């Protein structure tokens, strides 16, 4: 079972919840850095720790990694967000989101309101540009859940 990777994933989910509640820009940035490290660490721990649990699990993990690498279109979230944002944050200390961005929301009475700067952090560029970074992080969490479930199911056959 992908037990250790699931522990990292649980911490990533907790970091995501903190990001959803955070209104201080510096704490948001620091939590984002932690979330990006955790998001990529799921895969590292899967490969380096969980793969040692059994030969069947090692083979399933190796197959998953091969699939992620060979079918980059299908696993675009891994390549274009999980890896790229982790690399930008941890290797260059550049955040992919734009802080201090306001969003205009149209409400039914044809009037508009502006969200405060702390509530909307759109990604600056790439395929997810303009989307709130927390929404894409939630997609990455769901992707990891799906991948771990698939690996675990393949070893139960």
Q: What is the pLDDT of residues 107-125, one digit of tens each?
A: 455 545 444 445 789 999 8
Assess if residue 45 is contained within a domain: yes
Assess if residue 117 is contained within a domain: no
Could you give the CA distance from residue 83 to residue 154 in angstroms, rounded to a whole number? 25
Assess if residue 104 is contained within a domain: no
Assess if residue 144 is contained within a domain: yes
Assess if residue 83 is contained within a domain: yes
- Domain residues for the domain of 86 are 3-97+133-155
Token couple for 54 = 């059994």
Assess if residue 110 is contained within a domain: no
Assess if residue 121 is contained within a domain: no
Q: How many domains is the chain built from? A: 1
Low-confidence residues of the chain: pLDDT under 50:
101-107, 111, 113-117
Could you give the CA distance from residue 148 to residue 128 in angstroms, rounded to a whole number? 24
Could you give the CA distance from residue 21 to residue 141 in angstroms, rounded to a whole number? 17
Could you give the CA distance from residue 41 to residue 137 in angstroms, rounded to a whole number? 14
Assess if residue 40 is contained within a domain: yes
pLDDT at position 5: 98
pLDDT at position 119: 76
The structure tokens 């690996």 sit at 151
- The b/e string for 98-110 (b: 16+ C-beta within 10 A; e otherwise) is bbebeeeeeeeee
Could you give the CA distance from residue 31 to residue 111 in angstroms, rounded to a whole number? 34
């Amino acid at each position: 079972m992908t037990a250790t990777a699931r522990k990292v994933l649980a911490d990533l989910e907790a970091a995501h919840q903190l990001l959803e509640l955070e209104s201080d820009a510096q704490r948001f940035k620091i939590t984002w850095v932690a979330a990006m490290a955790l998001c990529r660490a799921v895969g590292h721990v899967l490969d380096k720790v969980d793969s040692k649990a059994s030969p069947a699990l090692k083979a399933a993990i190796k197959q998953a990694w091969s699939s992620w690498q060979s079918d980059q279109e299908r696993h675009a979230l891994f390549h274009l967000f999980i890896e790229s944002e982790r690399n930008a944050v941890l290797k260059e200390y550049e955040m992919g989101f734009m802080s201090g961005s306001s969003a205009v929301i149209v409400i039914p009475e044809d009037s508009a309101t502006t969200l405060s700067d702390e509530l909307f952090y759109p990604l600056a560029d790439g395929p997810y540009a303009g989307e709130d970074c927390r929404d894409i992080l939630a997609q990455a969490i769901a992707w990891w859940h799906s991948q771990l479930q698939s690996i675990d199911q393949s070893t139960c056959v």
